[in-house]
Chain A
Amino acid sequence: MHWPVRWKVVRRSLRESVVFLAIGLLAAAGVYAVSITIRPFLDGVETKAHAAPPGSGALPAGGNLVSSIRGEPRTFNRYADQTSAVETITFLLHSRLVRVNRKTMEIEPMLAEGWTASKDNLAYTIRLRRGVRFSDGAPFASADVVFAFRAIYRKDKTGAYESPIADSMQVAGKPLDVKALDENTVQIRFPSAYGPGMRILDNLPIYPRHLLEQSLNDGTFDAAWGVSTPPAKMAGLGPFVLKEYQAGQRLVFDRNPRYWRKDAAGRPLPYLDRITIEILADQNAELLRLQSGQLDCIQSEVRPEDYKALKEAATKGKIRLYDLGTGLDADALWFNLRADAPIARGRRPWLQNVELRRAIAESVDRTRFTNTVFFGAGVPTFGPVSPGNRIWFDPQVPTPKFDRASAARRLASIGLTKKNAEGILLDSAGAPVQFTLLTQKGNTALERGAAALREQLRAIGVVMDVVPLQVGTLGGRLESGDLEAAYYRFLTSDVDPAASMDLWRSSGGFHVWNPRQAKPATEWEGLLDDLIARQVSTVDPAQRKRLFGQVQRIFAEHIPILYFAAPRVYVATSARVLNATPVLLRPVVLWSADTLAMQAAPRSNR
């Protein structure tokens, strides 16, 4: 008699499975319910930071600011390395003759008290500040400036410049000429007219001659000031000195009592006693600590997907969120336009055709793109200059409209009309219109952007395969030219176009679609070379803007790089940080470390 036995077994199985699923669901529900009910009660436990007393004027002195960097420095020698870790540290330890105020984008005198330009604008006579001393007590004089230039122009055995700074300190491929007129005066001579003028000195932190001259003469300058150098052997003119470097964990900077700068009221800067920079490789961990108030600031902006969590923390009074408006950097998509690229020799000539790029520019709905990738917090962009760059952005440059029909017509004009059963375009050989796009893995904005573009291009029948690569591997592929198309975001270091000469010039290493050309491959690139050279050597700002506007027009017509949207930039600091001036260029908060101050409220750990 099988039937009754089976029924019992079935009933038991049912009973058991119900029990198990019930336990699982109960557990999940319990966890969720607990988390929701407990939260309101916990709010009262957290310490709230007090708002800064309004209008009191006087910023409190003292305090320890805690920040973080994502990677470890390979060396402390900025003349030998330009990774972001060294860059940030240099802002704390050293000063420049002149700096670009990243809030106003104007140049400010720093170690240079004032300067006069010669009639032909080729020579600048700079008066150095008097009575300035390095953090170890040695006096600062013009010899240090001369030494700095000598150090960055040092050459290696093959006769090429060793220092990565050398590139940005040259005008039309020639170095600047520096000589000391007396103890406190220096004369800098440009080899040819240079539009930005003194702005170029923002790239050069001044190093102590008395500590480094020996190694420069020995030829060991590259290895000087490595990560194992004892802090006592380094000195600088910056607001802080390195107290301790715990490898893999943190860097501790103490106030430099000999710092030359004072605030408007005559109080000696910096206000802070100490800055601790934690080394946190994990972006998640960094965000968590910022949210909970353990970190006072980080070096990068807030990602759109993290905005909500930080906004919540801001309403609870733990952090301050700054809205800096449209950013300077939009995502860039370009095709490999080298003549020797495999795709050029292959059977897909349409891949390097400008009509394809124009079609893509017209077929992407940038509003939808911004909504998907930046959650609506962004602005459509069409050219290499973002609307956030108010000084140099030319709003008169024509921009393509979102028009899929027109895009289809353009594609038809280069022979891509037939579609297969799935709606993919076919080329003349009957192969589907498809290409591979390389992008950076781990960068959520790029990954999301690439995914959004892939979907939008599919609508016009173009298949784009997205391949995310580790940043190092990506760099290797870009160098070797082994790619069809790439999608990346360039971080600009300055709003002035002279800072990205390598991008505009056809001979530049950053002319990404076809770098290092011996001579311009196309007529418009030749025109671009000419315009940019004139732009850089013109001193009149209005004329420079006009010339650069023409550069943007050429970009709009030939679209060597496609741009889609620039995100709105948000920066978060803890509520205890006072007088912060977050900016669009990195390091977003620490660039003005000497004027930061902290409240006296205790740090909460939750």
Chain B
Amino acid sequence: MRRTGLVLLALAVAVAAAAPLLAPHDPGRGYDDYLHAPPTALHVRDADGRWRWPFFHPLRLVDRLESRYEEDTSREVALKLFARGSLVAEQDESAGPWLPLGADSFGRDLYSRILYGARVSLGVALVAVAGSLLIGLVVGGVSGYFGGALDELLMRLAEFVVVLPTVYLVLALRSVLPLVLTPGQVFALMVGIFTLVGWPYVARGVRGIVAVERRRDYAEAARAAGASPVRILCRNILPATVGHLGIQATLLLPAFILAEATLSFVGVGFFDPTPTWGTMLHDAANVSTLGQFPWMLAPAFAIFIVVLGVNLVVQGSRTRSVAGSIDLAAR
């Protein structure tokens, strides 16, 4: 189970990294005559019943205001491998674009946007996880090693943050900061906020481990030999925390992905035209859109895959399996 989960996660990261190769279209390119177009159906048998290489009929606009389309059965466009700079694309774009998951309200290909969106959504989450791990490690290490009043203070602070519901905390922090930002600034801001909210989860565990390891014989021996605390921490004790860090990383990742999706969904995260899973759900969330153009919910499936992967990894680890998922669900 764990392996399946890791495979899924690795797949998600690989897809995000290889987005330019896999996406048949530019994520910002809007096809004016294909607003709210439904997914283009692929056929393998033509009108005579013969088996063919996959092809599709380009869509024709029937009513622009109602966004109604029909297949133009008089034309066929085949798919090709390694065409036009991507893995799979239509042979020739002039007849009409291939929209495997349909188009959004600007006529942009949803599939390409999900792929490129993975970059932003996963990117924010991964960098924030790294940040949380780093800060959590430092704070937890210092707190566990030196103990005393500093330890009390830091751990109380960490507990306070952990008790609060993540979504509200993140929302409050984001809302009080200027709402006027470029995508790059939004990225940095989100990473900052998530790191601020995520380090306590890491720090608590690290502190516990460090506090225990500190009293072990080998640490005492190192201290007696005159090694500085920093050296002892880094060389001897912190390696013991790697397991915990791994678990926390897998728990924080989906929490941050969901947090980004939630923030963008309510409009205080990324905004148009940056493709992220959250902004795409924001576009889809208009109720008449949902009822009429359900393919716009495709990013939800992408989020589901990543979260499932994480849960598989967590459940597959013998220890902390259930506690881990509690932690996850409570964020």
Measured CB to CB, the residues of A under 8 A from B are: 9-10, 13-14, 16-17, 20, 24, 28, 32, 284, 287-288, 291, 304-312, 368, 371-372, 375-377, 441-442, 444, 447-448, 451, 454-455, 465-470, 473
Measured CB to CB, the residues of B under 8 A from A are: 1, 3-4, 7-8, 30, 32-33, 35, 64-67, 105-107, 179-180, 182, 267, 271-273, 285-289, 291-292, 294, 301, 304, 308, 312
Q: Which of A16, A287, A291, A448: most chain B CB closer than 10 A? A: A16
15 contacts between A and B (CB under 8 A): A291-B288, A306-B286, A308-B67, A309-B288, A309-B292, A310-B288, A312-B292, A375-B64, A376-B64, A376-B65, A377-B65, A444-B286, A451-B106, A454-B273, A468-B271
Given contacts A305-B105, A375-B35, contact A288 B7 (CB under 8 A): no
Residue numbers in B under 8 Å from A288 (CB-CB): 287
Complex: A14 Cα to B4 Cα, angstroms: 7
Complex: A288 Cα to B7 Cα, angstroms: 42
Complex: A306 Cα to B292 Cα, angstroms: 10
Complex: A306 Cα to B267 Cα, angstroms: 20
A371 to B286, Cβ gap below 8 A?
no
Complex: A138 Cα to B65 Cα, angstroms: 52
Complex: A454 Cα to B105 Cα, angstroms: 16
Given contacts A448-B105, A451-B106, contact A287 B65 (CB under 8 A): no
Complex: A375 Cα to B286 Cα, angstroms: 16
Residue numbers in A under 8 Å from B301 (CB-CB): 24, 28
Residue numbers in A under 8 Å from B272 (CB-CB): 447, 451, 466
Chain A, Cβ-Cβ closest to B6: A13
Residue numbers in B under 8 Å from A467 (CB-CB): 180
B288 to A305, Cβ gap below 8 A?
yes
Residue numbers in B under 8 Å from A291 (CB-CB): 288
Complex: A20 Cα to B315 Cα, angstroms: 14
Given contacts A17-B8, A455-B30, contact A306 B179 (CB under 8 A): no
Complex: A307 Cα to B292 Cα, angstroms: 11
- Minimum CB–CB distance from B271 to chain A (whole Å) comes to 7
Given contacts A13-B7, A372-B30, contact A284 B67 (CB under 8 A): no
Chain B, Cβ-Cβ closest to A15: B4
Residue numbers in B under 8 Å from A13 (CB-CB): 1, 3-4, 7
Contact with A371, one of B32, B105, B304 (Cβ below 8 angstroms):
B32
Complex: A287 Cα to B179 Cα, angstroms: 28
A287 to B288, Cβ gap below 8 A?
yes
Chain A, Cβ-Cβ closest to B287: A284
- Minimum CB–CB distance from A2 to chain B (whole Å) comes to 15
Complex: A20 Cα to B301 Cα, angstroms: 13
7 closest pairs, A vs B, by CB? A309-B288, A376-B64, A17-B4, A13-B3, A13-B4, A308-B66, A375-B65
Chain A, Cβ-Cβ closest to B181: A467
B8 to A305, Cβ gap below 8 A?
no
Chain B, Cβ-Cβ closest to A473: B179
- Minimum CB–CB distance from A502 to chain B (whole Å) comes to 27
B106 to A465, Cβ gap below 8 A?
no
Chain B, Cβ-Cβ closest to A374: B65
Residue numbers in B under 8 Å from A447 (CB-CB): 272
